[in-house]
Amino acid sequence: MPDNTETPARHQIRVEEAVKSFSGRVVVDVDHMLLGDRPIEGLIGPNGAGKTTLMRMIMHATGLDRGTVTLIPNGSGGDEVVLSRLPTHRMAGLGVVKSNQVIMDFEKLTIWDSLLLSVADAKQETPYRMFGEKALFEQHEEEMREHLEFFGFADPTLHAMSAGEKKLLDIVRCLLLKPRFLMLDEPTAGLPDEMTEKVMQRVRALADAGTAIVIVEHDLNVIWKLCDEVHFMAEGKLILRGTPDEIRRHHTVIEKYLGEGHV
Amino acid sequence: MNLNWLSAFLITGLFSVVMVAGLALLLHLQLGLTRIANFGVVGFFGTGMYVYGVLYVRVDWPFGDPWQFLVCALAGTVAAGIAGTVVGWLIADLDVDAMLLGTFGFATMVFILATTQKSLTGGALGMGGLRFPYKLGTVKANEALWLLILVIIVAGILFYVARVHRSPYGRMLIAVGDNEALARSLGKPAFRAKLLQFTVGSAGMGLLGVMYGVLERFLVNTNLGVELTLAAVVALVLGGSARVWGGVIGAVLTIGVFDIVVQSYLPLPKSWYGQAIPVVKQMVYGATLIAVLMFRPLGILGGMRRDKLMRRVHGA
Amino acid sequence: MEFIGESIVIGLTQHAPLILAAMGFALIYRLTGTINVAYSETLTLGAYFGMWVNTNLGWTFYFSLIPAGLLAGLLSVGTYFAFFRPAKLRGMGALEVIILSFGLSIFLRYGLQFVFGYPVRFYDVGTTTTYRILGTGVSAFRVMALASVLILAVGLYLFIQKSSYGLQIRALASDEDLAKASGIRPLFVTTLIWFIAGVAGGLAGAFYGVNSNVSYLLGWRQFLFIFLVVMVAGRKSIGSVIIAGAATGIALAALNLRLSQSLYAQLVLILAFMVILKVRGRRMAETGKV
């Protein structure tokens, strides 16, 4: 009989002495941060706190002036991997995935295209594999259709039209990559409430199955409801860290940065 | 076989149309899908042609045709592919301006090398000594068979391009060209993909150069000017840079019109053919590029219809 | 030592027009951020028209510079209003604008051949005395030409850096919205830039033409190096273009003296510049939203 109190091991990411400046202005300056300790963690802070930049540094989409980002793959075993030495395209293979804050889409590709792009692996996308499309589709048809139905995409042969559709598609692409460490950058912005609820359902399911989740959100209600741990950043630094209750107890600090009425 | 209906002009004219269509198809993969600006098409074409020609004529081969041809043709194609890898490595992660500079600079370097290495290439005077790898009796018969072989090769390229559109590989190329940062975040190795694709495309251009060199049976550096790059670009842009058949249709409408219809079938004064017609041809090509980009940038065939493609391949 | 002196003298007298042409090209490139391949045709037009005025109306070379520069400037402005401005208003992508300018370049190049005829043409300037500078023989004419080019280049530099119009140009190039908010009229300033760039190109072309000959390929032959000089000079002030242009000219002359064939000099420099661009490319700013 499996022991149900044993939660599966989660990937963690350790950020050490990481600094990034743009045009002489220090945007991120984090001495030490451990993410993935708890199933769902939140990253909050005022605009310009460096949250998105930090996540981009983890993905190595932007270089680090100093410091390291290390992946501790508890979920799959194996040695630590220094992410800050790898190119961005290696992240997905290691299970490290990030959704986008602003709308990012492929203008020329349909919804099916986006999904198939996510599920395909490198071996299937070489110049001499001319006839692999049907097999790829059949291999993943079930899981793709499941996501499409759950989120209510009407016709996947079309392109994503509205901003909300594109945002959802971005998230579905992330989900199809089978992430072990998923960063969601303001996933609810621009989504209607039912969609936000559906996204959160999927996120909770992933967390229960062992994926580490980090969410950046401005809507603090989502954070308090969902997260087991919250990191508070301001002016590029990590100011506070703790459970939602612990953070709310420091409401003067929070209000100093975010204004009143959030706690 | 009675080939009287096939004049020498028609053979070379058709050869040009098919060859430029082939170049435009390869350019479609580079420029249309992956968005790599290749303004040095003639450089890769010329690399294939000259490496083939120099090896064929200058080396004392222990075996004759067709093996001599095949070995040298392979060498020419591979050389063009290697050039593609080197140039691709230099430009693949740079912006559009640097791509223009890198590819155009490369083409200029090929021209300079072909002109200065006179002992190998004959320089500006040119070099003969190439011949068809078979003997069919008349020159016209030889050329006609060569045209047929080219048609088969370019048909193969067309088939490959069509398959690319329908394959995961093609989708990845389009994604990289459309939004490279997003593609990388989904795990696609953008730099490697661009490099590989540029290599394959350049090798193909080199092969077409080999075919042309044999047809002319003469190498001369005037073949290495920007006119050929222009022809491929006009054909692709006019037909539709995002579509499989774009380059083919564009080649027929540009080269086909000028090199066949105007050259052979329009009753214009003889004196015009020496200088006026070639000059007007280039002016028309330039004007065509301007007009298409200003008024119908996606060309005659318009935009990629992936929704139709997805419906056809996967159903609803 | 003699080698260095020779390189400097030959390099500057032969390639001084490159400095002017690169400055003109850089003006447009820095403002619109795109490569105007058709810029090389302003050189050709300047050379052809100056030659025409010189041989048909009997004007001296220096007087013929005025109509040559003016007409090239007008051509440049014309292409801006006919093609580049509409393209920008339509939101045409960078790659498409480059291809469009490529088509325009071809059209103008062969159009000029159509207008001015097929044979190669020459300026009518007669022979001049020869001076020895730094140990190298150089015709008086070439020395005058070099001096003129340098004066024009410095004049253009001072105009851009010091005059009020120059200030408006630099403001518009660095931040269009802010410039508009400061009361700068972008259409007027942009037109001014295209005009000045065209004039610089036309004058450069005239100097090239008088030093060798005038053909429809005159401008196109220089395009690659104009482009290389501007790219290598980077996006700092217009002064860096002068330095890069002069350095390139001297390097070309030096390599020419050392290598067996003159084309080799170009080959080496193209390769060197491409490597510089690759190395510099890695240090590009990381912007992006993903």
In a domain, C290, yes or no: no
CA nearest A20 in C: which residue? Answer: C286
- For residues A18 and A66, is the Cβ–Cβ distance under 8 A? yes
Q: In Å, what is the CA distance from B155 to each residue of A130, B102, B167?
A: 16, 30, 18
| Mean per-residue pLDDT, C275-286 | 67
Contacts of B97 in chain C (CB under 8 A): 34-35, 94, 98, 231
Query: How is domain A12-105+179-258 classified at the CATH fold level?
Result: Rossmann fold (3.40.50)
Sign of torsion over alpha carbons B157, B158, B159, B164: positive
Run of H or E residues at C240? helix C238-258
CA distance C104 to C38: 6
Mean pLDDT, range A65-91, rounded to an integer: 91
Is it true that the peptide bond before B66 is cis, omega within 30 degrees of 0?
Answer: yes
Answer whether B171 touches A (CB < 8 Å): yes
Is the pLDDT assigned to residue A149 strictly greater than 60? yes
Query: Measured between CA atoms, how close is A75 to chain C, in angstroms?
Result: 26
CA distance B244 to chain A (A): 15
According to DSSP, residue B223 is labeled G
CA distance C215 to A240: 72
pLDDT band at C73 (very low <50, low <70, confident <90, very high): very high
pLDDT tens digits, one per residue of B86-135: 999 998 888 888 899 999 999 999 999 999 888 888 888 888 888 898 88
pLDDT at A1: 45
Query: Is B184 in Cβ contact with A110 (below 8 Å)?
Result: no
Which residue in chain C has the smallest CA separation from A61?
Answer: C290
Nearest CA in chain B to C106: B286
Q: In what order do the strands lie in the sheet with A66-72?
A: A25-35, A12-22, A66-72, A81-82
Say if CB B281 and CB B258 are below 8 A apart. Answer: yes
Give the one of B189, B310, B311 whose C-beta lies nearest to A89's C-beta: B189
**C287 in any annotated domain:** no
Distances (CA, A) of B159 to A63, A125, A133: 41, 18, 16
Q: What is the rounded average pLDDT of the residues A234-244?
A: 91
At B267 the three-state DSSP class reads: coil
B305 CB burial (10 A radius; 0-12, 13-18, 19+): middle
CA nearest C290 in A: which residue? A100
Asked whether residue C39 is domain-assigned, the answer is yes
**Nearest CB to C263: which of B37, B112, B293?**
B112
CA C30/CA C193 separation, integer angstroms: 10
B166 touches chain A (CB under 8 A): yes
The phi and psi torsions of A199 (rounded to 5 degrees) equal -60, -45
- Residues B251 and B247: their CA atoms lie apart, in Å, by 6
Sign of CA dihedral B145, B147, B148, B153: positive
For residue C78, pLDDT beyond 90: yes
C-beta of residue B28 within 8 angstroms of C-beta of residue B161: yes
Angle, helices C262-281/B96-116, rounded to nearest 10 degrees: 160
Is residue A117 less than 8 Å (CB to CB) from chain B? yes
Range of the structural domain that residue C205 is part of: 2-281
The pLDDT assigned to A172 comes to 95
Report pLDDT digits (tens) over A13-57.
Answer: 999 999 999 888 999 999 999 999 899 999 999 888 899 999 999
Answer with the residue of higher pLDDT: C175 or B290.
B290
Contact: B310, A88; criterion CB under 8 Å: no
State the DSSP string of chain A: ---TT-PPP--EEEEEEEEEEETTEEEEEEEEEEESSSSEEEEE--TTSSHHHHHHHHTTSS--SEEEEEEE-TTT-S--EEGGGS-GGGTGGGTEEE--SS----TT--HHHHHHHHH--GGGSSTT--S-HHHHHHHHHHHHHHHHHHHT-S-TTSPP-SHHHHHHHHHHHHHHT--SEEEEESTTTT--HHHHHHHHHHHHHHHHTT-EEEEE-S-HHHHHHH-SEEEEEETTEEEEEE-HHHHHHTHHHHHHHH-SS--
Task: Spell out the residues 6+ positions from residue C242 whose beta carbon is closer than 8 angstroms to its own.
Answer: C19, C23, C153, C154, C157
- Whether residue A127 lies within 8 A of chain B, CB to CB, comes out as yes
Nearest CA in chain B to A132: B167
Cβ distance B310 to A126 less than 8 Å, yes or no, reads no
Q: Are C37 and B226 in contact (CB under 8 A)?
A: no
pLDDT of residue B23: 97
Contacts of A205 (CB under 8 A, 6+ apart): none
Helix, strand, coil share (%) of chain C residues, nearest 5 = 80, 5, 20
Task: Please report residues of B whose CB lies closer than 8 A to that of A93.
Answer: 187
Is residue B288 within 8 A of residue B238, CB to CB? The reply is yes
Of residues A102 and A258, more confidence is placed in: A102
The predicted pLDDT at position A203 comes to 93
Pairwise CB contact (< 8 Å): A89 & B311: no
B93 near A CB under 8 A = no
Record: contact A89-B187, CB cut-off 8 A: yes
Q: Minimal Cα distance from C221: which residue of B?
A: B108
The nearest CA of chain C is from the CA of B97 a distance in Å of 7
Which of C90, C104, C224 lies nearest to residue B104, judging by beta carbons? C224
List pLDDT tens digits, range C6-52. Answer: 888 888 888 889 999 999 999 898 877 778 999 999 999 999 999 99
A2 — pLDDT class (breaks 50, 70, 90): very low
Q: Which of A102-106, B5-9, C284-288 has the highest mean pLDDT?
A: A102-106
A248 in Cβ contact with A224 (< 8 Å):
yes
Query: Given the structure tokens 């002319």, which residue do they identify?
Result: B216
What global pTM score does this model have? 0.91
Rg (Cα) of chain B, in Å, rounded? Answer: 20
Residue recorded with tokens 């490496």: B51
Q: Per the CB < 8 Å rule, is B187 touching A177?
A: yes
Contact at CB, B179 and A173, closer than 8 angstroms: no
**What letter would DSSP give residue B187?**
T
A contacts of C289 (beta carbons < 8 Å): 100-102, 104
d(CA A70, CA A60): 11
CB-based contacts of A165, cutoff 8 Å, min separation 6: A153
Antiparallel, parallel or unpaired: β A81-82 and A237-242: unpaired
Cβ of C289 and A63 within 8 Å? no
3-state secondary structure of C133: strand
Interface of C with A (CB under 8 A): 286, 288-290
Q: Do A133 and B160 touch (CB under 8 A)?
A: no
The pLDDT assigned to C30 comes to 82
Strand order from edge to edge, sheet including A181-185: A96-98, A181-185, A212-216, A40-44, A229-234, A237-242
Answer yes or no: do A102 and C288 touch at CB < 8 A: no
Which whole number is the average pLDDT over A66-79? 89
Q: How many domains does chain C have?
A: 1
Backbone torsion region of residue B302, taken as left when φ is above 0, otherwise alpha when ψ lies between -120 and 50, otherwise beta: left
Residue C286 belongs to some domain of the structure: no
> 10-residue block means of pLDDT along chain B (316 residues)?
72 94 96 92 96 92 88 96 95 88 94 89 85 87 93 97 94 94 95 94 97 92 92 95 94 90 72 78 94 93 91 83
Contact yes or no for B285/B230 (Cβ under 8 A) = yes
Closest chain B C-alpha to C90 CA, distance in angstroms: 9
Q: Which region among B138-142, B243-247, C208-212, C283-287 has the lowest average model confidence (pLDDT)?
A: C283-287
Report the b/e string of A113-125 with b at 16+ CB within 10 A.
bbbbbbbbeeebb
Q: What is the CATH number of the domain that holds C154?
A: 1.10.3470
For residue C198, give the amino acid letter. Answer: G
| pLDDT for the residue A17 | 94
Looking at every residue in chain C, the average pLDDT score rounds to 86
Distance from CA of A109 to the nearest CA of B (A): 7
B137: left (phi over 0), alpha (psi -120 to 50) or beta: left
Cβ-defined contact of C281 to B98 (cutoff 8 Å): yes
Residue C185: predicted pLDDT = 80
Q: Do B310 and A100 touch (CB under 8 A)?
A: no
CB contact (8 A) between residue A61 and residue B184: yes
The 10s digit of each residue's pLDDT in C150-167 is: 888 888 888 888 888 888
More confident residue, A7 or B304: B304
Backbone angles phi and psi of A215, in degrees to 5: -115, 130
Nearest CA in chain A to B180: A106
Reading the block at residue A213, the tokens are 């989740």
pLDDT of residue A127: 86
Does any CB of chain B come closer than 8 Å to the CB of residue C87? Answer: yes
The answer to whether A35 and A72 have CB atoms below 8 angstroms apart is no
Cβ contact, residue pair B242, A106, below 8 Å: no
Instruction: Give the bridge partners for A73, in sequence order.
Output: none
pLDDT at A7: 60
> Does the beta-carbon distance from B293 to C92 stay under 8 Å?
yes
Prediction ipTM score: 0.92
Asked whether the beta carbons of residue C290 and residue A56 sit closer than 8 angstroms, the reply is yes
Rounded Cα distance between A245 and A84, Å, is 33
Determine phi and psi for A231, rounding to 5 degrees.
-110, 130
Closest Cα of chain B to C59: distance in Å? 30
Distance of CA B163 to the CA centre of its chain: 19
Task: Classify residue B295 by burial, with Cβ atoms within 10 Å: 0-12, 13-18, 19+.
Answer: exposed
DSSP secondary structure, B5-41, as one string: TS-HHHHHHHHHHHHHHHHHHHHIIIIIIS------H
> Do B300 and B50 contact (CB within 8 A), yes or no?
no
Find the residue in C nearest to B97 (Cα).
C35
